[in-house]
Each structure stands twice: as structure tokens, then as C-alpha cells.
Chains A and B, each alone.
Chain A
Amino acid sequence: MQKFSFNRRLVIIIVCLIVSFALMTLSVAIRNKRSTPPLIQQFGNDIVGLADRVVALPANGLSGSVSSLSELLNTYQENQQLKKQVGELAQTKVRDQTLAKENKQLKKQIGLNASLTDYTAITAAVITRTPSSWQNQVVINKGSSAGVVKNMPVMSGSGLVGRIAEVNKTNSKVELITDNNDSANRFAVQITTKSGKTVNGVLSGFNANSGEITMNNLTTKAKISKGDKVVTSGLGGVTPKGLYVGQVAKSTGDDYGLSTKLYITPATDLSSLNIVTVAVTKQ
């Protein structure tokens, strides 16, 4: 009898393992192929997301007030520095407006409706973050009803932070660029060097030890130096052109000495996100 119950337990464990593995593989496949998760999952996620707001809103509000209190202390110094910058910024803004206007007129003349740089923005708040060390994901409070579509780029502050990985009706998951999994989407970017040459490439991963984005397999002869700006190139898909990714921190040869490997310092602090912007391209 003892032997029988032991065998039964073993069978249950093995069946559970097989079912678990099958479910995991299936959900990863669905996640990679389909633009939205199955309807039941969407529905469940919407309801859980609504319930989560009851807990998340007070928590986020509390943290917001605490951080604003601590920020109050160094406001004076910051104010001094910012005043200097504002003068320069007004100048740049006016010039930017003029250029945008001119750009619009020129586009009209050649009959160009939308180019790679055009996008509209959806602002969303971060509800919660996945409590797991294997997935750097946040859940935001805008979903397909607000016009969010899978694989759209997400920005925060001055730069790119990730892409939409899963869309429900009223919330969606953002996979941050710090996520290193195999199926993570890699952004097509370009670097304009000091000599004016443009280098195209694809982001290849994230170096967790130094906190820098890595970019492999560059076979360009152009000299890329520290501080060169990296922006999205708009090639191959839903990402618009000209989203700021970061600055080149280091340029080295790769492990085999055949191509160049770049380390890029991200433009925004990826560990604290509260408000994000989803960039929607017109298609």
C-alpha cells in the first residue's frame, strides 16, 4: 500500500511537470506570435488590473509625496542651474518651431503625408512592476482601448525605456530594455558620429553589471567616440525615427576582434519609472 501511494505521488509530480512545461511553452509561443493574448487572459488581466489600482494608487501616491518632500531640499540649487538652461532652451525652442513649420511646408510641397519621424504620444501611468528577477516588466494603465498596440516603443523622461509586450483592454505590459530574454525585441538604432557619418545597427542586449545597453556586430570603419548620441533609426517596423536612446559610453572590439561592440549609457534612469509615453506611429 505504501509503495502504491508513493508511485501515485510520483505520477502526479511527473504529470504536473509535463503540464507546466507545456503551458509555459504554449504561453511563450502565444506571446511571441499573437498581437494580443487570448480573450480570457485579457479579460482576467483587466479585472485584476482594476482591483490592483485600489492598492497601487495609494502606494504610488505615498511614494510620490515622500520623494517630492526630499526633492524640496535641493530645489534651490537645482533652480539656479536650471535658470541658466532655460535661457538657452527658449532659443532652441523657437528655432525648433521654425524648423518644424518649414518642414511641414516642405512636406506639403512634395506631397508627403507621414514620414518616419511622425508619431503621436499616449501618456500612461505605471501601475505596478512584476515582482520577479527574470522579467523587467511594468504594467501601465492604458490598453488597446486607448490605441496601444503590441511592439510600440515606450519612452520616459528623455529616452526610450522599452516596448509594449502584451496588450489588454485597459492595461498593458511594458518590457524594459533592461530585460535580457531571448525573445525581447531589439531596437534598430543609428549613431551620427562627430564627422557626420551615420552608423546603423541593432541593440543587442543589456549589461547588468555596468547598467549599459550593448550593441554588437558593428562593422563600420567610421570612428565612434564617447558621447555620440544614439537614436532609433525607424527602420523595420513600428518604431518612429529619432527617439533618443542614450550616449555612447565605450567602444571596443568584440570577443573575436572582427567587429565593434558599443556600450551605451541609457538616457533615463530605468529603475524608477512613474509616467511613461507610448509612441504611436501613423500607419
Chain B
Amino acid sequence: MYRLSKLRFGFPIGLFLFLFLDGSISQVFSTHLFRYSAVMVSHLVVLWLICAILFEDRIDMPLARWAAVMGAVFDLYYTGIFGVYVFIFPLVVYLTRVLTRYISPNFLSGLLIYFIDITLVEALGYLASRMVHLTNMAGSTFLVTTLGPTLALNLALFVILYFPIRWVYNWLN
């Protein structure tokens, strides 16, 4: 099924497109996103991965492997510190798979799942950065200045992009 569908090529292309869009959005809107009091980080790659699980749960895609590849590209190209997102992205995919076993995926439960995923991505990224001394921000400051605004931005993006992405997946399938 997966071998024959357009998804086989469409999915990785979408993945890379969203990865680069993350960087471009950060660059174009850097004045608004990276304020000192509130930092918003877009995680569109995660959105594309999660939507693949929400919409295409019947088709067996090598999602965790693609997530690891995306994490590796993210680490090498964007941050330059290897070994952070290469583990976080597959973990998020695994977590979402576990969650969809208990919650039937629709728009609202998808929002909830995405909320948990983004929290995980940001929190683990923060812990990793603390460990290698990239930041010395206190945990409470992280919650207020980074996690909160990032969640707000990404949930807004989820609401805006949920139906377009579903349309794309339907078209690819």
C-alpha cells in the first residue's frame, strides 16, 4: 500500500519542506518570534510527523526512521550539536503512537496530543541544552519565557494547518 502511493515521495518532501520552513519562519519573523521576554519556536516538522500518525494510522510508514533522519538534519544543519533532536523526534513519534492507541484521533484530541508532544520536545531540548551549558536559564524562567509562548504559537499553527494538511494527506493517499 505504502510502496504504491504518492505518499512514498510526498511524505519526505513535505518533511523537508516543513523543516526548512521552520528556519525561514524564524528568520523572516525573527523580530516578533525571538523577543527577549517571550521566545516562540516553530516546530512545523513535528506537526507534519504527528499529522502523519493522526491521518495515516492504517498505512505502515517508517515514521520513526524518518523522524530520526529529520532530527539528524536538524542537529547538524541548524544547531551544530549532534545527538539532541535525533533522539527527541523518534521519541515524540513513539509517544504519539502510544497515545493514539488510547485516544481516537480527531481535531480536539489531536490538539491535546500535539500539546503534550511540543511540551516534551521543548522540555527535553531545554534539559539537553542545560547539560551541555548552552543555556543557564532557570527552570521557572524557561516555563514562562519559552515553553508558554512556544506552545501558544504551535497550537495556533496546528489549528490553522490541521485541515490543509489533512487535505494534502488525502490527496497523497
Q: Given known contacts A45-B77, A55-B24, A208-B36, is B83 in contact with A180 (CB within 8 Å)?
A: no
B84, A126: Cβ atoms under 8 Å? no
A-facing residues in B71-89 (Cβ within 8 Å)? 73, 75-84, 86-87
Residues of chain A with a CB closer than 8 A to B22's CB = 131
Chain A: CB-nearest residue to B40: A133
Bound-complex Cα distance A164 to B26 (A): 19
Say yes or no for A86: interface residue by CB 8 A criterion: no
A44 interface contact, C-beta 8 A: yes
Within the complex, which residue of B27, B34, B75, B76 is in contact with A128, where a contact is CB–CB below 8 Å? B27
Contacts of A26 in B (CB 8 A): 82-83
What residues of B have a CB within 8 angstroms of the CB of A19 in the complex?
A: 83, 87
- Is A225 in the interface zone, CB < 8 Å from B? no
Cα separation A212 to B44 with both chains bound (whole Å): 31
Which chain A residues lie closer than 8 Å to B135 at the CB level?
134, 180-181
In angstroms, how far is the closest chain B Cβ from the Cβ of A256?
Answer: 19
CB distance from A178 to the nearest CB of B (A): 8
B55 at the interface (CB under 8 A from A): no
How many chain A residues touch B (CB < 8 A): the figure is 56
**Does the CB pair A132–B125 fall under 8 Å?**
yes
Beyond A27-B83, A56-B23, 4 additional contacts (C-beta under 8 Å) are A60-B24, A128-B24, A180-B135, A269-B31
Residues of B within 8 A of A51 (CB): 16, 20
Question: Complex: how many Å from CA A271 to CA B28?
Answer: 10
Q: Would you call B26 and A48 a contact (CB within 8 A)?
A: no
| Interfacial chain A residues near B132, Cβ < 8 Å | 24-25, 28
A203-230 near B? 1/0 per residue, CB < 8 Å? 0000011110000000000000000000
- Find the A residue at minimum CB distance from B42: A131
| Contact, CB under 8 Å: A137 / B79 | yes
Partner of B80, one of A31, A60, A62: A31
B21 lies within 8 A of chain A by Cβ: yes
Q: Contact: A55 with B36, CB < 8 Å?
A: no
Quote the shortest CB–CB distance from B100 to chain A (angstroms): 19
A59 touches B28 (CB 8 A): yes
Give the Cβ gap from A207 to chain B, nearest Cβ, in Å.
8
Contact A132:B133 (CB < 8 A) given known A55-B17, A55-B21: no
A24-B79 CB under 8 A given contacts A60-B24, A131-B41, A181-B133: no
